[in-house]
Every structure is written in structure tokens, then in C-alpha cells.
Amino acid sequence: MKYKLVQDAYGKNAINLSKVTRHEAYHEFRQISVNVSLQGDFETVYTQGNNRKILPTDTQKNTVYALAKDHFVSSIEDFAIHLANHFFSNNPQVSQTTIEITEHLYSRMSFDGSEHPHTYQSKGNEKHVTTVVQDAHKTSVTSGIKGLLILKTTNSAFTDYIKDRYTTLKETTDRIFATECEATWVYNSYKLNFAELFEKVRNACLRTFAFHNSLSVQQTLYAMGEAVLEENPEIKEISLIMPNKHHIPFNLQQFGMENDNEIFIATDEPFGYITGTITREEEN
Amino acid sequence: MKYKLVQDAYGKNAINLSKVTRHEAYHEFRQISVNVSLQGDFETVYTQGNNRKILPTDTQKNTVYALAKDHFVSSIEDFAIHLANHFFSNNPQVSQTTIEITEHLYSRMSFDGSEHPHTYQSKGNEKHVTTVVQDAHKTSVTSGIKGLLILKTTNSAFTDYIKDRYTTLKETTDRIFATECEATWVYNSYKLNFAELFEKVRNACLRTFAFHNSLSVQQTLYAMGEAVLEENPEIKEISLIMPNKHHIPFNLQQFGMENDNEIFIATDEPFGYITGTITREEEN
Amino acid sequence: MKYKLVQDAYGKNAINLSKVTRHEAYHEFRQISVNVSLQGDFETVYTQGNNRKILPTDTQKNTVYALAKDHFVSSIEDFAIHLANHFFSNNPQVSQTTIEITEHLYSRMSFDGSEHPHTYQSKGNEKHVTTVVQDAHKTSVTSGIKGLLILKTTNSAFTDYIKDRYTTLKETTDRIFATECEATWVYNSYKLNFAELFEKVRNACLRTFAFHNSLSVQQTLYAMGEAVLEENPEIKEISLIMPNKHHIPFNLQQFGMENDNEIFIATDEPFGYITGTITREEEN
Amino acid sequence: MKYKLVQDAYGKNAINLSKVTRHEAYHEFRQISVNVSLQGDFETVYTQGNNRKILPTDTQKNTVYALAKDHFVSSIEDFAIHLANHFFSNNPQVSQTTIEITEHLYSRMSFDGSEHPHTYQSKGNEKHVTTVVQDAHKTSVTSGIKGLLILKTTNSAFTDYIKDRYTTLKETTDRIFATECEATWVYNSYKLNFAELFEKVRNACLRTFAFHNSLSVQQTLYAMGEAVLEENPEIKEISLIMPNKHHIPFNLQQFGMENDNEIFIATDEPFGYITGTITREEEN
């Protein structure tokens, strides 16, 4: 054979599942989307069409629904760990399982100051996600937030950058800073209180974003990552993606009016795209 | 001429605008998307390519940004009324102007129990919308909510319906009722406190949805519309669109397990699509 | 009762169906999405939760799949007519049925000049659609094209329009004209060769768009509609929606370069939105 | 410092650009979307807010438009190579530049057997993409296809797989095989006729997909990759992603009818997700 398969994986994506747990005082509603992916000794599947080592993706889907009954009882991380271990333990041909779960968030409605026992509203585009990877050696847990659309109307500057022949941007000491933040962090264990840690990380990100005097998106991104690591020893590393959703001052001067930093064109494209990964210094 | 133009309209859509108003204690951030549409004496534009009566859509866009400075100061309805009147008054060739505004909602972040003065998070897919139409005779104001994704985990039944040879659905006295509600209502005046009324309508919808013992989506839809009309004499008519976002019990019996109304397949398509318009009886 | 239901309709949307017909020489593959909507004597459903007149949307879905076997054998119009009549005839409580079908288009792959017998590629975003409405008096058939993204790089001008204080647009005698055209036309009968007429209408639209010396989007829109009516006596009326997807010359002069109408910013928003409906003059 | 930045990159995404080249016989229209990303000596930007090494993303955008005039004259690969080299050569603080280009494809309309000189239609969702990475040592070129929605109605089986307690899938020797294929391949040089190679790779993928007697998605994926490597010595490695867009036979038996492999539920979610990377064996 002149060619070889150097990477392969297969599984079922977008297994959309909801669960109702009937507590005495209220109904808990959860909705998730699960991706299963298996890697392993599948060379002959690809090269010869021999399916004897294939656990069909349809069966993977059924398994997720069946296991959700008894094992989706707390965090998405704990359910993902259970699923990864199930597929890994029951399939000797599999060398690595990857489970990704996205949680669609809902909050109970409140009326007259008290929460309704069984009525929910979606919390919107913000999603909580986790990726659990299990192989023969370890189980790694990575969690994250997606779709966190946040902005601040001041305390954001951008000055003192390179100018060249293609520069038209004007320096500013006061601009809108808007981003749809995506954060992903790696835990140092798979036995943690993930739900609680999630809220701590999210809060550290939001608080730093709000109170930081930003000289650039990059600087604020770093400060957010640093705060998360500072407050959470359980986290080894954090990556942030912060697209710069530009709000561009509209030129009112052409109509003899002044734009005192108040009227903006809200744009989707093009957008700045700023990323960074911050990790702990290894200690010697 | 053997053919005639029986409907025409043109304008600029998706004029995306954000505004920062610097109050003493905090910064107010608003983001909207505006559509302008003009109808009128445009026959020769279409049939002969005579552009002398055309106010270009680019100019419409500029006008919206310029007028936002002084006139987007309260509700989207009030700004839409101002814009409709501006285009109508300044363009004798125009017989009708339609302004649609969608507001993207943000809430200020809170830390330690108090709101941050200038940092916001998106409130997600729920959007507030308005359509204002002005012609020589009147200014009509219609407002609405889109993308209101809500659900209840009980107090929803569906029984006693027609059965025929293609029926496979089982009757149920306890199902999940999930919908992405769209409501649109017509005001009886263009001089109202629209922001306050908006909150009242939204609350009547949510409260009725939560507390209604639903025998069908149709019945709950009607109850919601009735509540809105009951509580708001300023509203003439309300239309509701309530797609039924099905959560289908997963068959666990095939694996020897019981599904006690707890594990569901969350589906997007196909979906039930239920609509209704409720109006006041004319009094004689 | 102080309120009344003035409009209501319910049904199932997004019934996604594919069909393979095994002809001797090749396999025919079709993929459609069907919406069913029923109107009628449903007052007590909405006001009292009495479901005895409700044909569940789940049953509607099953019916569409079942009837596709024998009745989805030619155009989407003919299948929609059959479905509309089925629901209308079998449900005395229904006063009007509406069937919408969207066809996802595929073309057979060709290799070495001949078509492969059973392998297809999607034709992309262009969709063919139809809406059939049946009530006690008539069956009306409306068909259309959506997502027809077309453009011409010249023979499009825009001059001689109104200028006011908010005008910044420059006149041009040579611009890119790009649009994602949506056309919808009404047939004068429900017994026609719809597949053949579809191709004739589509071709008339494209040909006119290509060869027209455009003075405005409005004028080209009208010319397209006129050509369709001229060539197809079976069509009573046509509506066109032609958003102007702007390609804006990029200012290269600021870098000492000339932009000889060659480099453009391709934008999605905001966009011009031009509509028109052309009908035959009634003859006296 | 207890933390360190282990990855960073920033740039401008979605620089949407169209270009018209006026050949004697016809107008050539091209539309692309460009992403620029810079990596390098940016530690102090992130940790101190020192912007002196920052080339603003706005300037990157301007540069892309300016350079398109003289340098976007053939393949997207050649333009990406030029852009990567421009940013790399002019910015000593940059250690690596990444340029991604997506081309939106258009074809000239034909009437009466000949192509119209300046009118185009979009070719739909299929996109051609390239990623060029330049650092001090090399320039690597990766190209690909996205959104290639293809299917075959027969010559696809799936049998002989693992059965366990969660298995419900039935074996089949004749199913629809539909996928939205994504292929990405790595060239062994940056001086090649990329446009020509693109068509060769695309054709090898389609031809293999069409003529392969498929025992599984995995096997067909491998055969496609193998064919590409076999026919194109300029390609080092190819990765394929082939989601299985399921067309599920609808159960007509419940209505006393037979489904002779003709009526299917076309589903989007959940979907199988099959991936593989095939490379040349290193020769010794």
C-alpha cells in the first residue's frame, strides 16, 4: 500500500435531547446537543469496507438517550465523562472517545417575585459546552462558553499603533468595545464540581471585561484569562476568542452635524479576530 | 399598455445603528435595525426608467443615521413615527411610508447586586419590533415580539382529536409545550407610552402561557391574546404565531427501560404552526 | 364574548421528504419540504379547547408521506393540488386548505459527456416553490423561484435622482447590479404543464435581466415581469422582489491608486429592497 | 509572572471583495472573502497594552483591497501567497502570517448555446477555499472544497456491523448516500497551477463518489482520498469530512402500504460525522 490513513474518527453529531426532572417544588428542564466521536483500530473499515468493528452512529444515538435517564443528573461535564467511559469500556477496538455537549440554557420565569415551578424562557445565544476525551491513559475535561455577546460603551482605547501607507483608522481613546466572546478552559481533574466552577469562570470573565481599562482587545483578553487562572487553581489553561464587533462612528459632519461619539454603524463584517491562550508557568 | 403595476415599494433594509446616550449615572446603549419603504407615484420609474422621483435608498440610510441623533431618544415606536413622518412630509411623490424597526435587546451587567454603569450583555434572540405606516389619512402603529422561546414542562394536554387511517399520534394529558412565540399587536393611537405598553403586553403573554391549563396550542394562544386585549384598552387587535417545537418522548421500552415522561428528542423540524388573530367585537 | 377570532390557521411545516423513482435508464431523485395549513370552523378549538374538529398536525405529516408514494409523480404543483384536495375533501370542518411546497434542486452529475444514472449534486440556494389554495369555490396555483442570486457587471446605471441635504451617493452610468431575486406568479388554471411553464418563466426572467440596459433596479424588475406576462398567457400576475446587493467601489485614491471600476466591497447589509407586482390590464 | 501566553493571533476576518476584469470578449467576475491572521512577538501587546507592534486589522483590510487590484489576477492560492508574503515581509515583528480565502463561485449565463458576456449566476453553496501559511522557513498551501452537497440513490450498503442492546438500525444493501463533503488537501509546493489542480481534485472526488460500490461512508471516503493522491503527485495529503445526511425510509406499512425504498424522511439532525486523513507512505 502506498497510502496510509493517519487520522480517522466517526460518530454521531447533534443528538438533541431534553430531560425533565420532577423535583418536589419545581420541574427542572435541561436541553443539550451531544456529539459522539470514536477513534481506534478502524484501518480495515476504511480500506476494505469491513464493518465488523463499527458501532453504528445510530446505536451511539440510542445509547445517549438511554444513558441520559440515569446519568444526566448534574453537570454536562459529568454526563460527558460517563458517556466517554461507556463507549470506551464497551468497545475494545476504540482507543479514544470524544464527547462534546452543548447546553441550551433556560431560566425559570418569575412572576411577582417568585419563580414559576414549570415555565421556562430561553437564555438566548449563550451556550455552555464541554469536551471530554478519554483514552487508555487519561480522561481530560475542557469546558467553555460560546455566544457570549457583551459590550462596554467606554473605557476602551486604541492608540499608538503602526501607521503605514494603507492606514486610515483614526486613534481613539474612547470607543465601543463589543465582542461575542468564546472561552475554553482545561481542567486539571475530572472529579470536580463543574457546575460551580463554570459560574466562577464566567463571572471572572464578565467582571474583568467590565472593569478593565482597555488599551486593546488583546490586553483585555489577557486580563480576563489571567483572572480566571488566578481565581481557579483547578484550571490549567484558558483560550479566548474575542472577535471585535465594530461599532463605527457615523460621519455626521458631512451634514453639518456633530457626532459626539453617540451614533454608530453596527457592523457584522468584516470583523477583527483576536485570540490567545494563557497557561500557568511550569514551576521548577 | 397591456400591463399595469399594481403594487410597488422600494427602500433600504437592515440599516444597523447603535446609539450611546451618556446619562449622569450610566451609559444607555441601544441597537436597532431599520427598514424604510416608500410607496407612491413611481409608475414612470418602473416603466420608463425615469428616476426624477426617486429618493435613493442610500440617502434614506444617511437620513436614518442623521435623524437618530436628535430623534431616537425613547421608544422604537416614537423613532419610527418620526422617520415615517419625515419621509412622508419631504417627498410629495410618496403616498405611503413604512418604517420597520427591530431592537436588539441588551441588559446592563450586575456585580455584587448593583448594575455596572456601562457594560452590557445581549438578551439573546428575543427582539422587539415595530411597524409604522403613514399615509395622507393616518399613522398606524403595530408592535411585536419575535424570537420569544418559551416552554412549560406540564399543564399541557392534547386529547380527543380526529383519528383517521393516517393517525399514529397518541393522546397525552401531560406533554412539554415549547414554542418560539411571535406576537404582533395594533395600537389605536400613535400617541402612547409605547415602552410601558410593551412591557405590559409581554408580561400578559408570559403570565397567561405559564398559568394556563392548556388543552391545545390553539386554546393557549387564544387565552394569551384575550389577556392582552383585556388588560390593554389601547390595543385593537393581536396576532399570535406559535410554532409547536416538539419534544417527543424517546422510546426507552425497546431497551427494557421505562420513560416516565422524562427523556425527549428535541426536534426542530417538522413543526406544528398555529396562528390566530383576536380582535375586539365592534360595539353597536 | 367581547373578543372574536378573525383569522386562524394551523398545520404542519417543514415536512421534509425525498423520493427515488427507479426509471429504467436512471434514478430520479426529488427532495421537497411541505407545509400544510388548514382554516375553517375552529372557533371552539381556540375558545374552549374542544379538539373534536382537529386533524392533528402529526397526522397531516403522515398523510403527506403516504400520499407521496402514488401522487408525487410530476411537478410540485400537481402534488400540492392533490394534497390540498385530499385535506379539503376529507375534512368537512375545513373551509380552506393551503399547501406550500419548496423543492430543493439537484442535477445529475456528468462524466465524459454523459449523465451518471444515479449520482446527483445540489444546485444550491435556488429553490422552486408553489402555493396551492383550495376552498369551496376554486383552486388557485401560485408558483415561484427563491434564492436566485444573479448579477451583471455592466449595462446598469443610476442617475438623475433626487438630491437633498442627506445625499452622498454619486451618480453612475456603470455599476454592478446584483440581486437575490424572488419571483412569484399566479396561474389562471390548475390544469397546466407546470414543469414546462416553470422553465419558461425562469428563462424569461434571466434573459431579460441579462439583456436589459438598466436605468434602475425598478425598471429592470418591471421589464422582467412584462416579459413573463408577454410570453405566458397562462400567467395572470407576477410579483418580483429584487434586493439590491451592493458592490461598492473601494476608495483606492486615498492610497494614490486608481479604481477603474474594478475593486469593490461586497456587502450584505444594508441593502436596497425593490418590489413590484405586474398584472394584465383588464379588458373591457 | 506566573502565567504565560502560549498562543496568540489576531487579524481581520470576512474582508468581502469583488473584482471585475474586463477582457475583450467578456467580463470576468470574482467574489472572495479574505481572513488575515498575524502571529509573532506580541507578548507586550497582551500583557501591557503596548500597541507599537500592532498593525491594525483595519489597515490589514485596506491592504487586501489595495493589493487586489494588481495581484488578484488568477487563483485564490496565488493571491493568498502574495498577501501572506506582503504582511510577512513588511512586519518584522510577525513570525507567521496566515491568509484564508473563500471563493464564492459564479458561472456565466448561457442563452441559445452561447455564454452571455457579463451576466452571472451563483453556483450555490459549494465554495473553494485556501489557507496559506508563511513563516521564516516556508510557505505552505492548503486548498479545499466546502459545501459540496452530493448524493447517490444506490450502490451504497451498510451491513455486518456490531449489534448490542441499544441497536435498532436494520442492515441494508441499498440506501441513499448523501453528504455535504468537505475536502482539504496539502500541496507540496507553492508554485503550481492551482486552478487546474483544483478541478482535477474536485473531479477525482466526484467520480470516485459516483462509481464506488460503497460498503460504508468510511470506505468511500478513503477511496476518494486515494484517487486524489493517485492522480495528483503535487498533493501530499488529503483530509475528508463526510457527514452522513440521513434519508430514512418512512414506515408506510403502518398504513398497509409498501415502501419499496422510495419514500424517505430527509433529516438534518442528528447526522453521522465521518472523517479521515490519507497521506503518502514515506519512502525509505
What is the nearest CA distance from D138 to chain C, expressed in angstroms?
30
Residue type, position A230, single letter: E
The pLDDT of D192-209, averaged and rounded, is 98
- Residues B261 and B174 sit within 8 Å (Cβ to Cβ): yes
D14 touches chain A (CB under 8 A): yes
Find which of D79, D119, D125, D155 to mutate to test the C interface (most C CBs within 10 Å of its CB).
D119
What cell numbers appear for A91 in the block? 468497545
The pLDDT of D127-136, averaged and rounded, is 98
Q: State the Cα–Cα distance between residues B247 and A17, nearest whole angstrom.
A: 8
> How many Cβ atoms from other residues are within 10 Å of residue C253's Cβ?
9
Residues of D in contact with C265 (CB under 8 A): 16-18, 65
What is the nearest CA distance from D22 to chain B, expressed in angstroms?
26
Widest Cα–Cα separation across chain B = 76
Q: Using the beta-carbon criterion (under 8 Å), do A277 and D8 form an inter-chain contact? A: yes
pLDDT tens-digit series, residues D69-122: 999 999 999 999 999 999 999 999 999 999 999 999 999 999 999 999 999 999
pLDDT tens-digit series, residues B186-199: 999 999 999 999 99
Mean per-residue pLDDT over chain A, rounded: 97
Residues of D in contact with A11 (CB under 8 A): 272-273
pLDDT tens-digit series, residues B22-61: 999 999 999 999 999 999 999 999 999 999 999 999 999 9
- Residues A197 and A128 sit within 8 Å (Cβ to Cβ): no
C17 touches chain B (CB under 8 A): no
Q: Which of D78, D45, D58 is nearest to D13 (CA)?
A: D58
Please name the residue of chain A whose CA is at the shortest distance from the CA of residue C256. A165
What is the nearest CA distance from B137 to chain C, expressed in angstroms?
23
pLDDT tens-digit series, residues A118-153: 999 999 999 999 999 999 999 999 999 999 999 999
D84 touches chain A (CB under 8 A): no
**Closest CB to D6 among A49, A166, A279:** A279
B168 touches chain D (CB under 8 A): yes
Residues of C in contact with D121 (CB under 8 A): 148-150, 206
pLDDT tens-digit series, residues A231-262: 999 999 999 999 999 999 999 999 999 999 99
Interface A-C: count of C-beta contacts within 8 A? 9
Residue type, position A110, single letter: S
What cell numbers appear for B274 in the block? 398555529
Mean per-residue pLDDT over chain D, rounded: 97
pLDDT of C283 reads 63
Known binding residue B135? Answer is no
Q: Does an H or E element contain D55, and which?
A: none
pLDDT of D282 reads 76
Instruction: List CB contacts of A219: < 8 A, sequence separation 6 or more.
Output: A212, D45, D46, D47, D48, D49
Distance of CA A140 to the CA centre of its chain: 16
* Sign of the dihedral defined by the CA atoms of residues C144, C149, C152, C156, in that order: positive
- Which residue among the candidates D57, D119, D139, D153 is catalytic per the annotation? D57
Known binding residue A228? Answer is no
Residues of A in contact with B19 (CB under 8 A): 262-264
Please name the residue of chain A whose CA is at the shortest distance from the CA of residue B71. A263
Please name the residue of chain A whose CA is at the shortest distance from the CA of residue C252. A166
What cell numbers appear for B60 in the block? 434614506
- Residues D264 and D249 sit within 8 Å (Cβ to Cβ): yes
Which residues on adjacent β-strands are paired with residue C271? B13
Residue type, position C195, single letter: A
Please name the residue of chain D whose CA is at the shortest distance from the CA of residue B253. D166
DSSP D141: E
pLDDT beyond 80 at D1? no
pLDDT of D147 reads 97
- In chain B, the domains with their CATH numbers are 15-137 (3.10.270.10), 148-279 (3.10.270.10)
- Residues A187 and A238 sit within 8 Å (Cβ to Cβ): no
Find which of C248, C254, C265 to mutate to test the A interface (most A CBs within 10 Å of its CB).
C254
pLDDT tens-digit series, residues A165-193: 999 999 999 999 999 999 999 999 999 99
- Which residue among the candidates A27, A57, A200, A247 is catalytic per the annotation? A57
User: If DSSP states are collapsed to H, E and C, what string results for chain B?
Assistant: CCEEEEEEEEEEECEEEEEEEECCCCEEEEEEEEEEEEEECCHHHHHHCCCCCCCCHHHHHHHHHHHHHHHCCCCHHHHHHHHHHHHHHHCCCEEEEEEEEEEEEEEEEEECCEEEEEEEEEEEEEEEEEEEEEECCCEEEEEEEEEEEEEECCCECECCCCCCCCCCCCCECCCCEEEEEEEEEEECCCCCCHHHHHHHHHHHHHHHHHHCCECCHHHHHHHHHHHHHHHCCCEEEEEEEEEECCEEECCCHHHCCCCCCCEEEECCCCEEEEEEEEEECCCC
- Residues C272 and B57 sit within 8 Å (Cβ to Cβ): yes
Q: Could you confirm whether D12 is annotated as catalytic?
A: yes
Decide: helix, strand or coil at residue D25. coil
What is the nearest CA distance from D77 to chain A, expressed in angstroms?
21
What cell numbers appear for D75 in the block? 487563483
Per-residue pLDDT of chain C (284 residues; tens, 9 = 90+): 599 999 999 999 999 999 999 999 999 999 999 999 999 999 999 999 999 999 999 999 999 999 999 999 999 999 999 999 999 999 999 999 999 999 999 999 999 999 999 999 999 999 999 999 999 999 999 999 999 999 999 999 999 999 999 999 999 999 999 999 999 999 999 999 999 999 999 999 999 999 999 999 999 999 999 999 999 999 999 999 999 999 999 999 999 999 999 999 999 999 999 999 999 987 65
Q: State the Cα–Cα distance between residues C214 and C152, nearest whole angstrom.
A: 10
- Residues C87 and C38 sit within 8 Å (Cβ to Cβ): yes
Long-range interactions of A193-196: CB distance < 8 A, separation 24+? A194/A74, A194/A75, A194/A76, A194/A77, A194/A78, A194/A130, A194/A141, A194/A143, A195/A74, A195/A75
Check whether the bond before D270 is cis (ω within 30° of 0): yes
pLDDT tens-digit series, residues D137-154: 999 999 999 999 999 999
Q: Could you confirm whether D236 is annotated as catalytic?
A: no
Q: State the Cα–Cα distance between residues A247 and B9, nearest whole angstrom.
A: 30
- Residues C113 and C86 sit within 8 Å (Cβ to Cβ): no
- ipTM > 0.95 for the complex: yes
Please name the residue of chain A whose CA is at the shortest distance from the CA of residue D278. A5
What cell numbers appear for D70 in the block? 494588481
pLDDT tens-digit series, residues B65-102: 999 999 999 999 999 999 999 999 999 999 999 999 99
A205 touches chain B (CB under 8 A): no
Residues of D in contact with A57 (CB under 8 A): 244, 270, 272-273
Please name the residue of chain D whose CA is at the shortest distance from the CA of residue C150. D121
Q: Does an H or E element contain A259, and which?
A: none
Left (φ > 0), alpha (ψ -120 to 50) or beta: where does A112 sit?
A: left
Find which of B246, B250, B255 to mutate to test the D interface (most D CBs within 10 Å of its CB).
B255
What is the nearest CA distance from A14 to chain B, expressed in angstroms?
10
Residues of B in contact with C62 (CB under 8 A): 166-168
Q: Does an H or E element contain D258, and which?
A: none
D268 touches chain B (CB under 8 A): yes
Check whether the bond before B270 is cis (ω within 30° of 0): yes
pLDDT of B282 reads 77
- The binding site of D for urate consists of 57-58, 158, 175, 217-218, 244
Residue C79, φ and ψ in degrees, nearest 5:
-70, -40
pLDDT beyond 60 at D284? no
Q: State the Cα–Cα distance between residues D248 and A65, nearest whole angstrom.
A: 19
Q: Which of D31, D52, D33, D30 is nearest to D41 (CA)?
A: D52
pLDDT beyond 60 at B1? no
DSSP A92: T
Find which of B27, B146, B253, B264 to mutate to test the A interface (most A CBs within 10 Å of its CB).
B264
A4 touches chain D (CB under 8 A): yes
D107 touches chain C (CB under 8 A): no
Q: Could you confirm whether B128 is annotated as catalytic?
A: no
Q: Using the beta-carbon criterion (under 8 Å), do D120 and C250 form an inter-chain contact? A: no
The pLDDT of B252-266, averaged and rounded, is 97
Three-point CA angle C92, C97, C100, nearest 5°: 155
Q: State the Cα–Cα distance between residues A177 and A156, nearest whole angstrom.
A: 6
Q: Which of D202, D204, D224 is nearest to A47 (CA)?
A: D224
Q: Which of B87, B102, B91, B93 is nearest to B133 (CA)?
A: B87
> Taking each helix axis from N to C terminus, what angle separates A76-90 and A57-71, rounded to the nearest 10 degrees?
130
Q: Using the beta-carbon criterion (under 8 Å), do A4 and D278 form an inter-chain contact? A: yes
Distance of CA A249 to the CA centre of its chain: 31
- Cβ within 8 Å of A, B 206-265: 206-207, 209-211, 247, 250, 252, 255, 257, 259, 261-265
Decide: helix, strand or coil at residue A272. strand
Residue C228, φ and ψ in degrees, nearest 5:
-65, -45
Q: Using the beta-carbon criterion (under 8 Å), do C168 and A254 form an inter-chain contact? A: yes
pLDDT of C1 reads 56
pLDDT tens-digit series, residues D29-39: 999 999 999 99
What cell numbers appear for C204 in the block? 424569461
Please name the residue of chain C whose CA is at the shortest distance from the CA of residue B90. C164
DSSP D214: B
What cell numbers appear for C60 in the block? 397531516
Q: Using the beta-carbon criterion (under 8 Å), do D254 and B165 form an inter-chain contact? A: no
What is the nearest CA distance from B26 to chain C, expressed in angstroms?
30
Q: Using the beta-carbon criterion (under 8 Å), do A59 and D217 form an inter-chain contact? A: no
**Closest CB to D165 among B165, B168, B255:** B255
Known binding residue A60? Answer is no
Please name the residue of chain D whose CA is at the shortest distance from the CA of residue A220. D46
Residues of B in contact with A16 (CB under 8 A): 265-268
What is the nearest CA distance from A111 to chain B, expressed in angstroms?
7
pLDDT of B36 reads 98
pLDDT tens-digit series, residues A74-92: 999 999 999 999 999 999 9
Residue D223: pLDDT band by 50, 70, 90 thresholds? very high
Interface A-B: count of C-beta contacts within 8 A? 162
Residue A282: pLDDT band by 50, 70, 90 thresholds? confident
Q: State the Cα–Cα distance between residues A106 and A27, nearest whole angstrom.
A: 12
What cell numbers appear for C175 in the block? 455599476
Residues of C in contact with D65 (CB under 8 A): 250, 252, 263, 265
pLDDT of C74 reads 97
